[in-house]
Amino acid sequence: MLRWIRQQLGFDPPHQSDTRTVYIANRFPQHGHYVPQRFADNRIISSKYTIWNFVPKNLFEQFRRIANFYFLIIFLVQLMIDTPTSPVTSGLPLFFVITVTAIKQGYEDWLRHKADNEVNGAPVFVVRSGSLVQTRSKNIRVGDIVRVAKDETFPADLVLLSSDRAEGTCHITTASLDGETNLKTHFAVPETAVSQSVSRLEALQAVVECQQPEADLYRFVGRITVTQQGEEIVRPLGPENLLLRGARLKNTKEIFGVAVYTGMESKMALNYKCKSQKRSAVEKSMNTFLIIYLGILLFEAILSTILKYAWQAEDRWNEPFYNQKTEQERNSSQILKFISDFLAFLVLYNFIIPISLYVTVEMQKFLGSFFIGWDLDLYHEESDQKAQVNTSDLNEELGQVEYVFTDKTGTLTENEMQFRECSINGIKYQEINGKLVPEGVMDDLPDGSIPCLIREEELFLKAVSLCHTVQISYDQIDGGFGDPFSLSHTGNGFTQMEYFASSPDEKALVEATKRMGVTFIGNNGEHMEIKTFGKSERYKLLHVLEFDADRRRMSVILETPSGEKVLFTKGAESAILPYTKSGELEKTRVHVDEFALKGLRTLVVACRHFSAEEYREVDRRLHEARTALQQREERLADVFSFIEQDLELLGATGVEDKLQDKVQETIEALRLAGIKVWVLTGDKHETAVSVSLSCGHFHRTMNILELVQQKSDNECAEQLRRLARRIKEDHVIQHGLVVDGASLSLALREHEKLFMEVCKNCSAVLCCRMAPLQKAKVVRLLKTSPEKPITLAIGDGANDVSMIQEAHVGIGIMGKEGRQAVRNSDYAIARFKFLAKLLLVHGHFYYIRIATLVQYFFYKNVCFITPQFLYQFFCLFSQQTLYDGVYLTLYNICFTSLPILVYSLFEQLVHPHVLQSKPALYRDISKNGMLSFKTFIYWTLLGFCHAFVFFFGSYILMGEDTTLMGNGQILRANRQLMFGNWTFGTLVFTVMVITVTLKLALETHFWTWMNHFVTWGSIAFYFIFSLFYGGIIWPFLHTQDMYFVFVQLLSSGSAWFAIIIIVTGCLFPDVLKKVLYRHLQPTNTQKSQLVETQQGSVSCLDSLCCVGPEGEEGPGVCVRLARLVERLMGRCAPPRADRSWSSSDPYFSNDRTILTLSPIEASHY
């Protein structure tokens, strides 16, 4: 218990050693003074709070927000000194905001606790005391032997000891860790693989030594020492022996493994990292405006305090007969009195800071984010995937994007590879009807005949079908498991063979060789089997030289059926060709370039034959490097370089990755919207340029500039200067820039400014041969440039995560490379084409909604508190409040909150289809135009002007006319005294509530029944509440200054006349301004509104999407929800709301053209 407390408080001491020693089955040494190492338990903790620290921790986090802290100070000031308003007026709104936020955050953390408890309480089986015992996952300790069955996830990081297979292998998927959905094969060392029963495992004497926990999923360095008959056998352990927590066991009945990393020390938990908090431009503007209003508040408080003392310089005002000072007041410190008066004025004017702004913005973002998931146009029917919102804090940022950084493979393309061409021994070949045919030769062999391959062709196909990490899944009739080789010969042991690969390229190549007659049958870890035109050949798998990003190639060392040792290797042409010593090098290089120009992905294949002596040296070096505990990666890299040289070039392959649907239209729409698109890819130069041309990223008429193959800083700088001069000379035409990874590194090292100048003057930029971190560096470079543009990164793979997290907005594509990009993104969509609507429609709507919300909140609070400031000039700065305390409290919470919330959820300046068909409208809101300082000044001055009209209009119309106090009869002096002050304040407040509500109504373009309900309902609620509040004597109120005031006010016709005159006088100039600007200087958006109005209203609300539970697609459910919301919002009449997902409907299908409207929709324009 004490250790757990120390862990929770972060006091648990760190590991003292660089390695950890794990005794299997916790069989510790019995001799000497052995002190066991202390390891973390197996509990996963993703929650933020506990029941003990929720209140203090949550309050601390909330009061770090400047507005909350400010109102807390105001509340404390009201408690400590005599202020003109009750502490409730500040305390209640603060309590409301804090409570709502705490409930939201507490609920989210409760869900995390619930998920943690479900994981930690999952049943698992461990070997203890010679038997298999069921326990909970959280009770697993380091050293426990754990049994995992088929399709179960691993509860900790386990070193594989044995499986139900004799060779000790198992298949797993790591989709939840790295997004890869392929089957991976993991191995047990031969000495433990035979321990397949609990009794044999209990008798196993072994020790695992490995590195301390680290986050790298693909790195594990260790060794296992097995004691057999008194002899110690040492075997190396690597990533292929480690089963990671969160991975799932596949195609294997059961495995046994020893836990080496548990709980928060597992690699999955170490990869939990808090993404850097992204803040939108609107939030930054909001904080700037808040500071300005704090300045206004301080100015008003200081000015009022100074004027009070200036006024009281005269004795008759300093101590009037009706307010004689006490002796203590006369002798008190003037400085303390000044501070006290300043704080009192600060409290009186503090409502100029809108505390409810934050909670309204949070509600708007949270509720508004549902519209993205509900949009049927963002729903991909084939994969049954709808758009996801992982964070709602950046909704409005979608309307401010200036740069889009996109991956190519899987984002612009389908990531579905199809074999197209190959080059063998300097001759180009094509696949025709499943046969390998030289280019220019027609397939004249009869169907079913076996083609005759020359030696080079056969060796090339064998190399392609053997050099890979492809796994095979068999659909078995009897459900048994066993050796795939034996299954392949039974004839009835399986129904179908399916390949699984970590790379779509590998799968496409193995499937292609199968069609051509060389079929990969299986790999059991020791042997690989192929069938060459029906003849079976078994190769012994000696070593696998795994692929890595530095080498950009992978290799296998095999023993052929004839006993010869051979190396097959494949990789990028730049990683293979420099190391070849024989073969048709120049012809193959030309063919590779030709394949790349066609947009094909290329791989070069080579081999090397070892003599017996050469192989013994290779085997010795590999064993030494793989058993090293220190610097294992460096040693392996040296050995791999030693092995992969003096290669014989066999040929090259060309695989096509076709473009996704409507990529070209989407990129063109983004360009018309003023958004620059950069493509960042790891592909080679020629392939990337070809795809950029085919997808419309580069135009055929565009001048393509290149910054590639730069060798030094000086060479790179000179080339950049040449490009800059060329752009300046040819400024009329558009330019596109191509940069490779090596040149980019040089450019970013010393010449960032020059490089950025060239890039910004180019319409499109393509970066090829990019490493993942280089992608993030490019995004950061643009993001931190002096212009501070808003960036968006979109990708589908784990290699895109760094740039997705770096950009202002990160979008993941739900592609074939798993879910890692989706999990780390802010938004997720199924296809690249959906990006157009996400930005041009949803981004546009979110931005104008929240921009108006922020400006309106500051406007209505200026209207609210300025009359209070003006009133002080008429009450000798006595700090008398103009409004009743209840009105002060409820103004922002009840009377004016709902209309702006509903506006911020449903407002649409123009119809969504207009925004999609006219992408240029996106430019109207770019660069935070609606929250510019000019717009802010306009709204603030408007608030001050309206406040002056409220106050002086009521004062002039009221004046000394006591008829305003009743039904035309002169009231007694005491009655006027009783009602005068509060009646005047109530009249000002009534005019203010009506005016600010109608002002928002003037700003509303898209009216639904909900807008009508909250707009007119808020005004009605104010009148009804005031009648009840002032018409009844409430026993729990200490004083009731407002008793009968509102009733008396409304009983006067003059009061109604004053309300109408003042409200009209405030809003008429605003209406006149809108009309004049709309006709004399209309924006593009206003022109579109005019066209829309002239040609008739557009049909219904955009389709919404709701996906049913557990895969229930249910189009009917979606249509019913869309129809219901459309009717509720009053967008169209019930008959017009009838949309269906019928496959025969040509107009409202899910796959709608981005830039063109369907005939029915177009008929409305």
Which sequence positions are flagged as catalytic? 407
Residue 441 to residue 222: CA distance in whole angstroms: 55
Q: What is the DSSP string of 816-836?
A: SS-SHHHHTSSEEESSTTHHH
Residues 261, 157: contact at Cβ < 8 Å?
Answer: yes
- What residue has token string 């020893």? 258
Helix (H) or strand (E) holding 1052: none
Residue 867 to residue 863: CA distance in whole angstroms: 7
Residue 868 to residue 879: CA distance in whole angstroms: 9
Axis crossing angle, helix 933-958 with helix 973-1003, rounded to the nearest 10: 150
Residues 687, 859: contact at Cβ < 8 Å?
Answer: no
Residue 808 to residue 403: CA distance in whole angstroms: 10
Residue 741: Cβ-neighbour burial (10 angstroms; 0-12, 13-18, 19+):
middle
Helix (H, G, I), strand (E, B) or coil at 943: helix
Residue type, 90: S
Distances (CA, A) of 1038 to 86, 883, 1041: 11, 17, 10
Residues 852, 905: contact at Cβ < 8 Å?
Answer: no
- Which residues, including other chains, have CB under 8 Å from residue 1119's CB and lie 6 or more apart? 1139, 1140, 1141
3-state helix, strand, coil in the chain (%, to 5): 50, 20, 30
> 1161, 412, 1150: which is closest to 833 by C-alpha?
412
What does the DSSP 8-state code read for residue 811? E
CA atoms 966, 971, 975, 978: torsion sign? positive
Helix (H, G, I), strand (E, B) or coil at 1071: helix
Tell me the HSE value of 121 on the side-chain side, using a 13 A CA sphere.
6
Lookup: tokens for 483: 């050796």
Helix (H, G, I), strand (E, B) or coil at 149: strand
Strands 388-389 and 206-211 turn out to be unpaired
Q: How far does Cα 371 stand from its chain's mean position? A: 16
Q: How far does Cα 861 stand from its chain's mean position? A: 34
Residues 221, 539: contact at Cβ < 8 Å?
Answer: no
- Which residues, including other chains, have CB under 8 Å from residue 991's CB and lie 6 or more apart? 950, 953, 954, 1058, 1059, 1062, 1063
Residue 881 to residue 845: CA distance in whole angstroms: 40
Distances (CA, A) of 418 to 24, 182, 656, 940: 47, 18, 5, 61
Q: What is the DSSP string of 172-195?
A: EEEHHHH-EEEEEEEE--HHHHT-
Residue 524 to residue 528: CA distance in whole angstroms: 7
Distances (CA, A) of 915 to 370, 669, 767, 842: 20, 10, 30, 10
Helix (H) or strand (E) holding 260: strand 254-261
CA atoms 798, 821, 805, 414: torsion sign? positive
> 181, 173, 191: which is closest to 244 by C-alpha?
173
* Cβ atoms < 10 Å from Cβ of 18: 9
